[in-house]
Amino acid sequence: MQKIICFIMLVMLQFGCDNSPLEKNKIDRLVENIGAEKTEKLLQLINQADDEKFNTSKNNKPYDLDDEKKTVISILKQILPIKFNDNLIWFDIEANGNALVYKTEVKGITKEDLLASENIKNIGKAITEIYCQDNVQMKNVKKYFSEGVEFMFYVEGQKLLILKSPADCKINR
C-alpha cells in the first residue's frame, strides 16, 4: 500500500503544472523517477509548447486556460507510460471538465487488497493532502484543474477504483 501512496505523491509533485523554469534539482528528480530518456523528451516538449504559445500570442490569437490544460495533458501523454516500480504504471492522463484524471495500472497487488476500505481511505487521504498543499506547484495545478484530481486504478485492465480529491480540500474521515 505504501507503494501506491508513494506513487501518488510522486506523480502530483513531479508533474505539477509549474510555470517556473525547471531547476537543476527538479530535473535531477525527474531523471531519477522517470529516467533520462523520458526527462529529455519532456523538456523538449515543454520547450516546443513554449514556442507554440509564443507564436500564438505573437499572431494576436488568444491563448487561454483551456489551451494551457490541453498542452499540459498533451505533453504528459507523449511520455507515458511511466513505470514507477514493479507495482505501478501510470499509463494515461486526461481532463474531466476541470478535474485532472490519472490512470494507473496496479500490478502485484490483489483486487481485494486494493479495494480494502482502510486502503481506500488511506489513498484518498493522501491524494487530498497532496492536492491541498499550499505550494507553487499545487497552486498551478489548482489554477488549471480547480475541481481537483481523480485517480483511476486498474488491475489486469479492469478499472476497479476511482478516487477524487475534493476541490474544497476537506478530508473525509
pLDDT in tens, 119-144: 888 888 888 888 888 877 778 778 88
Non-local CB neighbours of 138 within 8 Å, separated by 6+ positions: 12, 16, 130, 131, 132
Least confident of 5-9, 98-102, 164-168: 5-9
Predicted confidence (pLDDT) at residue 105 exceeds the cutoff of 90 = yes
Predicted confidence (pLDDT) at residue 2 exceeds the cutoff of 80 = no
Q: What is the pLDDT of residues 68-86, one digit of tens each?
A: 788 888 888 888 998 877 8
Q: What is the pLDDT confidence band of residue 9, given thresholds at 50, 70 and 90?
A: very low
Q: What is the pLDDT of residues 41-56, one digit of tens each?
A: 877 877 787 777 666 6
Task: Report the mean per-residue pLDDT for the chain.
Answer: 77
pLDDT mean over 6-11: 48
Q: How far is CA 68 from the centre of its chain?
A: 15
Cell of 160: 476497479
Predicted confidence (pLDDT) at residue 4 exceeds the cutoff of 60 = no
Identify the H or E element spanning 107: none
Tell me the domains of the chain and their CATH numbers. Answer: 2-164 (3.30.300.250)
Non-local CB neighbours of 141 within 8 Å, separated by 6+ positions: 12, 16, 17, 100, 131, 149
